[in-house]
Amino acid sequence: QGHAHALNLKESGCDVIIGLYNGSKSWAKAEKQGFKVYTAAEAAKQADIIMILINDELQADMYKNDIEPNL
């Protein structure tokens, strides 16, 4: 889901950055496709718009720990 959103936004001219957890299997794939990749916390510091595209049961913790402190 996130991969398709990122490609769509990039192809529409948006400056897309990807926020992932350390050790994510998607990190190298995203970099290979030309995306700037950061930890979720670092991406939140830089972002104007944030899309949380992870499993529902993980979203609250990611928001509290990585996103909210960096808004």
Q: Could you tell me the pTM of the whole model?
A: 0.86
Query: Looking at the DSSP assignment, which residues form a beta bridge with residue 19?
Result: 38
CB 21, CB 50: distance < 8 Å: no
E strand intervals along 1-71: 17-20, 36-39
- Domain map of the chain by residue range? 2-70
Give per-residue pLDDT as tens, 5-24.
999 999 999 999 999 998 89
Of 3.50.50.100, 3.40.190.10, 3.40.50.720, 3.40.50.11610, the CATH number of 2-70 is 3.40.50.720
Give per-residue pLDDT as tens, 28-53.
999 999 999 999 999 999 999 999 99
The separation between the first and the last C-alpha atoms of the chain, rounded to the nearest angstrom, is 24
Report d(CA 64, CA 70) in Å as an integer: 10
